[in-house]
A and B are shown apart, each in its own frame.
Chain A
């Protein structure tokens, strides 16, 4: 499929490059015949808004630590308009963790894989670097921030390269019980680490994560949402990426009743590469929402965002809103974002909204794309008429579609377990 280049602020944008060799055009044409998503997703190319100033610009989104400045959302706000607020009541209130400070807290944290050069401690309010990177951008983030006394602090010291992933197992033990969490990941200059945050079990979980990737550091954060199906999870994951640093955030959301993750990054200097990848599978009754924001606030950095989701079952719902802001000073920026959804059954709905704002013409490139395609009976018949049994046909389609993201995960055991997860997801929702 060829997509005609668009111009935003005089700069050519649009389909421009594909990131992985061997996966050229994967899923590119998904929207060709059927497009069930709402009006803001069309064809292979998503909506783009030409906003350079004004209240709609991401540059003007309010952030801060003062709860009074974040009233209860009504659902009409831009950042809440797709979210089922009722289901989030348990995580939006200004409430401490149940049984805080006792051993009855509903969420348990286990840190493992820390080797020499990795320091694990806690940070109270006001203790740097807590709050240096996180910029709460909605009520969920600010109440979460406020209600954690001691944040988990993982520091990878200068020049330390950690071969095996550092794991944080975050396990919910009481469905419906409120828990607030805060993790600060600090990568000192020229350090290298992969941090896996694995969410399991059930709780009403409000968890913020902030990541400081210092100059020359390389950090991957893999956030796995493998919740039970009655869990609720909101969270803001912010990163600041230093000079010549590499940052990668991968969000994998399979479980949970309602999950809403805001993942963001900005830069501290020049020469950095930052990426956000996401994979989600929404079943009947699930609401899975990912919002990404790339803030090109300094010159000569690159970014790549790719989120892929499959939906199966009545009322399965996914939302992706991808904001990219290339500020006036961010000359030489190279940026791309894309979201693709695969709708496996009737009744599921995927919303996909890429927003690209460009305030300078002096950039390397900026592109965005969005598509929502359907897997239907004709696809199934075609595969079956070639001898492929129905269950394998579905697996083939979903795995093939998701593979591009799975490959981004540098931990082999996670890649393998994801294959099993996807198989199970397909079975759960039945057909």
Chain B
């Protein structure tokens, strides 16, 4: 049983126009086996939260903490965070020149486990995971994300999720850009990781459709750099029906 705690997190970035405050006091706790959905308007800071948890150097934490089973995550580099069991499925997965998927997956698995996987079983495991996610076998020889379509990139993120077996996964709009079949296939992948590894999940999305497949027990409404309201799955339906007006008005009034 693990917990990921985010406490009063404030994050800013340096831009040409000066310092921009994006997260303004985010608090959230996720335990193993839980699924939390985060919904919120464009630009409210959802990806910033995700990147900050993963340790992107661009984002500066000015206040607050992130703890994984009591350990200070902010002290760790991005590689150490992944080794500690955090995984971010990115909204925009990066194309990496020169590195084949096969080579990448093996190197990452070795780094995360602290030892090289047994070649024969690993190759089989990768092959099976790719089949389940309906990723063509020749993707193994292609460079990481290079030339993959938007939907293919998302599937490959979930492939990694299944292979790396993290304690906590943050899925940043993994459903965006997926066709109807892919949405189902990808959701099944997430659910498998969930059941097999008792993974805790933070699912960032704009659409309730994915929530039919991946069922959250908690929904957080994210507005202007903080959690404006928390509730159960019914909150997602309310957002779907009424949009964010109610929260935006509050956020504006609060300024």
Which A residues contact B (CB, under 8 angstroms)?
Answer: 1, 22-30, 32-33, 342, 373-375, 377-379, 381-390, 392, 396-398, 400-401
Question: Interface size (B, Cβ < 8 Å)?
Answer: 35
Q: Which of B90-98, B184-192, B201-209 binds A?
A: B90-98
- Asked whether any CB of chain A lies closer than 8 Å to the CB of B45, the reply is no
Chain A residues near B98 (CB-CB < 8 A): 26-27, 30, 342, 375, 397-398, 400-401
Cβ B96 vs Cβ A387 within 8 A: no
Cα-based distance from A387 to B55 in the complex (angstroms):
11
Interface of B is mostly: mixed
Chain B residues near A24 (CB-CB < 8 A): 138, 141-142
Cα-based distance from A78 to B144 in the complex (angstroms):
38
Known: A384-B77, A387-B112. 12 other contacts (CB 8 A): A24-B142, A26-B98, A29-B146, A374-B97, A379-B94, A382-B96, A384-B55, A384-B79, A387-B108, A388-B108, A397-B96, A400-B103
Cα-based distance from A381 to B54 in the complex (angstroms):
9
With A387-B82, A387-B83, A400-B103: A25-B97 Cβ-Cβ less than 8 Å: no
Taking the closest CB of chain B, its distance from the CB of A344, in whole angstroms, is 10
Taking the closest CB of chain B, its distance from the CB of A323, in whole angstroms, is 26
Chain A residues near B103 (CB-CB < 8 A): 396, 400
Cβ B78 vs Cβ A385 within 8 A: yes
Cβ B97 vs Cβ A342 within 8 A: yes
Cβ A378 vs Cβ B97 within 8 A: no
Chain A residues near B96 (CB-CB < 8 A): 375, 379, 382-383, 397
Cα-based distance from A401 to B93 in the complex (angstroms):
20
- Asked whether any CB of chain A lies closer than 8 Å to the CB of B56, the reply is yes
Cα-based distance from A24 to B142 in the complex (angstroms):
7
With A1-B147, A27-B143, A28-B146: A386-B82 Cβ-Cβ less than 8 Å: yes
> What are 29 pairs between A and B in contact, CB < 8 Å?
A1-B147, A24-B138, A27-B98, A28-B146, A30-B97, A32-B95, A33-B95, A342-B98, A373-B97, A379-B95, A379-B97, A381-B57, A381-B78, A381-B94, A382-B94, A383-B104, A383-B108, A384-B78, A385-B56, A385-B88, A385-B90, A386-B112, A386-B160, A387-B112, A388-B108, A392-B111, A396-B99, A400-B103, A401-B99
- Asked whether any CB of chain A lies closer than 8 Å to the CB of B164, the reply is yes
Question: Which single residue of chain A is at the shortest CB-CB distance from B99?
Answer: A400
